[in-house]
Structure 1
Amino acid sequence: MATIVGFDCEFLEPPPDVLQTECPVCLQIIREPHQVTCCGKKYCASCIQCVQDSNSSCPTCKAELFHSFLDKGIKQSLYGLKVHCSHQKDGCEWTGELRQLDEHLNTDPLPETQLDGCPLTIINCDFHHVGCAVKLPRQDMPEHQRESLRIHLSKIAINYASLREEMNVIKRENESLKTKVASLRSSSQRFTAIPTKPREKISIQPSNVLIMTNFQQHKRDGNWWYSPPVYTHPWGYKICLGVCARGFGNNSHVSVFVYLMRGEQDDHLTWPLRGTITFQLLDQTGGENHKFHQCVYDDSVELKNCEQVRYGERANSGWGAPTLIAHSALKPQYLNRDCLRFQVSSGEVHINVCE
């Protein structure tokens, strides 16, 4: 599938000088503007995602470690600007807000949704699903379909014969498949499904204490630390904790996020992730004044924070507490010997912070 880059069109009037409109990667008008945490530049969501997936540095300031987030304010301002159609040079006179451009162009490949839209948009023939590879401007497609009716009917007949043969193969295999159903059902019970109630706790497998050393150095350098992986339950979702000692988006708090990882059983799990993961920052003086945060994965969570990880080992975005605890509140109760200790226990992810 081709990567979706920025909008290829021109503004009716010059945009405000203070508004960044061009993506530094694709050099087109920014689509779904994402701001990077290193230099503050905005990029198309897909452009910066490609950069992060390839573990490359920031295209603008060359920082090796950065995160990105959707800048809703910039998107609102940018998408409200008036633009010409992408086919203006070919004669289309449409103008409208940038947010309306995709609907006007209508490049959807499904025949039933191709009827409306810019007459100059290149679309597939309605019979591409049976082998017609013709692509034409929307305004020229009806004439092609009239002239090629006999060819299209021939292709349909050939595909029908092929489908009948495939059906015969399926029928022959069906009997042998039935004998495997009981075995598959038995083995599938090993994969416990994630709770579907949005506030039901996820059972975490026990593991050893995980120690993050050099807390002050991480805070000074702004480097993130990621824990070794844990699982939500046997054969479950693979996750880790990401800790920003300096603070993500602030310089006054410790930030802790849950990151999904690419796991061995992902294809057997239900996506997106639903449930609750809880982590605690424990009181190291022996008291009970623990700091805890619940990550509730429901329909309000952005898909990038709870969908299956298909590229790389870890998701590029996490879900958690940007301001878990202020730096001024760490000592002496939570910070000891310049290290962070993470302890994962059944039911929740506990965080020990000690110096």
Structure 2
Amino acid sequence: AHGARARAARVKSRIRGGYDCEFVTPPPDVFQIECPICLQIPKEPCLISCPCGKEFCRECIERIKEDGKPCPLCNLSDFTFLRHHGSERYLKAQEVWCSHKKDGCKWTGKLGEYERHLNRNPSPENQLTGCQFVPIECEHGCGEWFQRHHIASHQKGACPKRPYSCEHCHEYESTFEDVTKNHYPQCVKYPVTCPNKCRDAPFERQNVNNHVKDECPLTEVDCPLHYAGCEVRLPRKDMPEHMTDTVTHLTLLATVTQSLLKENQELRQTTEDLKKENQELRQTTEVLKKEN
């Protein structure tokens, strides 16, 4: 990607002037086939009025003129230039190799068709059309460049800025980078493992607390007879074995039962005493009523 990006930068710097390709069969020497400024095949060739009589790319010579510089060949500052349509027609009719021949492009065609073949600044719907070795910038704005025949796989499956929706909650939509880095750590349906590292399958984040509280075999729990005085805490998976210790648990239950029986007897006695006091109060009340 970085090599393609650097190559794209070099291409951009070159294509300001002429055509960056080569003729299949070089034209006769009588035709000038190289702009003296960009050293490429002249694009929209212009004939200069200087004694040098050379042809330049229109854009190259316009930059020289706009900057107030003299002719780069004869150093004459007062010059004019005129579009040379005859030369342009001839050059555009010549067969050229694609400039990406070294990368593997097999295309040859007329110079007039060369830029359409390259399609260096494609519209989104026309992005994959043209020379498959031209560096193309990713349309998602990640800043990476790839040769055209690689750009589709990057944009669909590798670009961190590609459109992406959470496959767990099916609600959050953003970029792949945002979904995976920012949304996943908060998504209530994202699969997470048990914090106790039990071997049960991953759970939706929203269900983990209930799993740990009610199901996890590694969660430490109180003995069911905690109320009876058993202070043992064990992982849930070990509690059934602990509950087989019937002697200890029966002893605890007997102690609790005796304590409850004693408390029950005391409550009964208290109830009887209260009933007796209540009866005495009623009798006293009746006596007082009669005396009045």
TM-score by length of 2: 0.50
If asked which structure has higher relative contact order (CA below 8 Å, sep 6+), I would say 1
Looking at secondary structure, tell me which structure has more strand per residue.
Answer: 1
TM-score normalised per structure 1: 0.41
Which of the pair is proportionally richer in helix? 2
Higher Cα Rg, which structure: 2
